[in-house]
Amino acid sequence: MNEPSFLMSSLYVALGGGFGSWLRYAIGRSIGPTAFPFATLTVNLVGSFAMGLVAGWLAQQGPGGESWRLLLAVGLLGGFTTFSAFSLDIATLVQRGALGTAGLYVLASVVGGIAGLFAGLALTKAAT
């Protein structure tokens, strides 16, 4: 089966991403504000589990699953939480035996992401 065109691929990603983003918002609203970030934790854990289900299912589908991958993994789960993609990346590295690379990726992503956030906050504070 041929891969979808760029336009169709973009449509799959946009539709899935829009629904995934709305779903994340709905879960956050249903849980509400709390002292501990339960909504984000819930979305990250559910999204990672769902990515495992989708990746496992897609692996069984063979090469014909590209449209589903774009809609569900890239779009829906990407809009829902990029943590699921992060988890899949780590699992892939571990399954390939690249434990050092996986550890470096975790460290760089978590520490770098937090440092980037603080740098952005400091930059906007300095600009005002």
Q: What one-character-per-residue DSSP string does 80-118 give?
A: H-THHHHHHHHHHHHHTT-HHHHHHHHHHHHHHHHHHHH
Looking at residue 63, its pLDDT comes to: 78
pTM for the complete prediction? 0.85
* Structure-token pair, residue 46: 């559910």
Do 68 and 16 form a contact (C-beta atoms < 8 A)? no
Angstrom distances, CA of residue 74 to CA of 30, 38, 68, 88, 121: 24, 24, 9, 12, 28
Q: b/e per residue, 79-88, with b = 16+ CB within 10 A?
A: bbbebbbbbb
Q: Which residues of the chain have pLDDT under 70?
A: 1
- Residue 50 DSSP one-character state: H
pLDDT tens sequence across 59-90: 998 777 999 999 999 999 999 999 999 999 99
Give Cα 104 to chain centroid, integer Å: 19
> Nearest-CA neighbor of 54 among 27, 93, 81, 14?
81
> Rounded to an integer, what distance in angstroms lies between the CA atom of residue 75 and that of residue 47?
12
Domain residue extents for the chain: 6-80
